[in-house]
Amino acid sequence: MGVLRSIVQNVIGLIVDDGLVVLGAIVALLVTWLLTSIGPDIPHLLIGVILFLLVAVSLLASLLRAARDAHRHAVEPPGDAA
Amino acid sequence: MTLVIAAIPAFIGSLVEFVEAYTIVLAIGVTRGWRAPLLGAAAAVVTLGVLVAIFGVTLVNVIDEHLFELVVGTLLLLFGLKWIRKAILRYAGIVAIHDEELIFQREVAELKAQGQSLDRFDWIGFLASYKAMLLEGLEVAFIVIALGAAGTDELLAATIGASAAFVVVGALGAVIRAPLSRVPENTLKFTVGVMLCTFGVFWAAEGFGVEWPGEALALFPIFGAFVLLSWMGVRMLNLLVPGGRTVARRTV
């Protein structure tokens, strides 16, 4: 049972490390879908660039949050560290 | 091109995962004997082979081309972003670098504490080895299926890439008989992460009907853009958290 639970957790963990990145990537894909659906005249290269930029923003946002958390841990008094 | 797209990322990604699995199998073998952990690892490899055969062949033969590109592209993108993010955090020192030697010592200590039954088959060693190989191998299976789902040739190339990594790690391990701590895991994971994100963006966009200028040649600028983005990410973290390395030491 423990092995099975580990496998399920690992399968989810394959793609979900930080929910913010996953959410950002999904939003980026939805925007791409919208652009290809409602704007057939939009150059395809531009749509690809927009997809990349939205993914880039979600990654940087996740890194910023990690930096903020790390900074918070770094300024804690040594006795408060987990 | 098929070989490049499927086999190389599969080889590099699998190499990293097999090194991690090898460390645990080695710890079990050294402390409890080799028969059970080797059988456990072999059973896990068979399980992974079945998973790849079932899901890989299904993706190749059943799913519509555009839907396939979208599903696989999305999964590759999410998986690749996870690896890039972690690699960037490790480069910036916010997350500790994977230390195979330390993991080996911890595993050995835990296994010694569990004791050993000498007269019966060592099920603890078998299951521990099976679980380690299966869990690390799931990422390998995922990479092989995703990269190989474009067709039979791609699936074969990705499988060969992963199998080659298994053989290389197994051969090195048999010779060295110590944790493979000199393998630059973070750099390899970063490289594969960038590759997976590149394919992910490329295929997901194609899944929505986007036709890239230059077709497959568009992979190169996308790859370069992800490398640049990652460099920016590391620089940004170094500026924001100059004491990142201290944080990493405290979070080991």
ipTM (interface predicted TM): 0.80
Confidence of residue B77 (pLDDT cuts 50, 70, 90): very high
| B179 closest CA partner among B108, B75, B96 | B108
pLDDT of residue A73: 67
Question: Are A25 and A58 a contacting pair, CB within 8 Å?
Answer: yes
How many whole angstroms separate alpha carbon B73 and alpha carbon B65? 12
Q: What are B225's two structure tokens?
A: 């853009």
How many whole angstroms separate alpha carbon A13 and alpha carbon B40? 23
Sort out which chain B residues have CB atoms less than 8 A from A14's CB and list them. Answer: 79, 82, 138-139, 142
Probe site for chain A from B247, B249, B251, B252 (most A CB atoms < 10 A): B247
* pLDDT above 70: percentage of residues in chain B: 92
Tell whether the model's pLDDT for residue B35 goes beyond 80.
yes
Sort out which chain B residues have CB atoms less than 8 A from A25's CB and list them. Answer: 74, 77-78, 81
The answer to whether the Cβ–Cβ distance between B208 and A3 falls below 8 Å is no
- pTM of the shown model: 0.80
Torsion angle of the four alpha carbons B6, B10, B11, B17, in this order, in degrees rounded to the nearest 10: 180
Confidence of residue B250 (pLDDT cuts 50, 70, 90): very low
For A42-69, what is each residue's pLDDT tens digit? Answer: 888 999 999 999 999 999 999 999 888 8
What is the average per-residue pLDDT within B170-196? 85
Sort out which chain A residues have CB atoms less than 8 A from B130's CB and list them. Answer: 3
Tell whether the model's pLDDT for residue A3 goes beyond 80.
no
Q: What are A47's two structure tokens?
A: 């749509």
Integer angstrom CA distances of residue B166 from B41, B158, B218: 11, 12, 31
Region at B215 (left for phi over 0; alpha for psi -120 to 50; beta for the rest): left
Tell whether the model's pLDDT for residue B44 goes beyond 70.
yes
Question: Are B2 and B10 a contacting pair, CB within 8 Å?
Answer: no
Tell whether the model's pLDDT for residue B248 goes beyond 60.
no
Q: What is the Cα gyration radius of chain A?
A: 19
pLDDT of residue B244: 64
Say which of B85, B197, B204 has its CB closest to residue A63.
B85
For B47-67, what is each residue's pLDDT tens digit? Answer: 988 888 887 777 777 777 778
Stronger pLDDT, B244 or B82, i.e. the higher one: B82
Stronger pLDDT, B235 or A11, i.e. the higher one: B235
How many whole angstroms separate alpha carbon B202 and alpha carbon B197? 8
pLDDT of residue A55: 95
Domain ranges of chain A: 16-75
The answer to whether the Cβ–Cβ distance between A32 and B208 falls below 8 Å is yes
Question: Are B88 and B230 a contacting pair, CB within 8 Å?
Answer: yes
Amino acid at B60: V
Q: What are A45's two structure tokens?
A: 């290269």
Spatial CB neighbours of B229, under 8 Å, sequence gap ≥ 6: A56, A59, A60
Q: What are B201's two structure tokens?
A: 């963006």
Residues in B 80-139 with any Cβ partner in A closer than 8 A: 81-82, 84-86, 88-89, 92, 94, 127, 130-131, 134-135, 138-139
Q: What are B139's two structure tokens?
A: 């990422």
- Tell me, letter by letter, the H, E, C secondary structure of chain B: CHHHHHHHHHHHHHHHHHHHHHHHHHHHHHHHCCHHHHHHHHHHHHHHHHHHHHHHHHHHHHCCHHHHHHHHHHHHHHHHHHHHHHHHHHHCCCCCCCCHHHHHHHHHHHHHHCCCCCCCCCHHHHHHHHHHHHHHHHHHHHHHHHHHCCCHHHHHHHHHHHHHHHHHHHHHHHHHCCCCCCCCHHHHHHHHHHHHHHHHHHHHHHHCCCCCCCHHHHHHHHHHHHHHHHHHHHHHHHHHCCCHHHHHHHHC
Stronger pLDDT, A37 or A75, i.e. the higher one: A37
Sign of CA dihedral B6, B7, B9, B15: positive
What is the average per-residue pLDDT within B186-194? 89
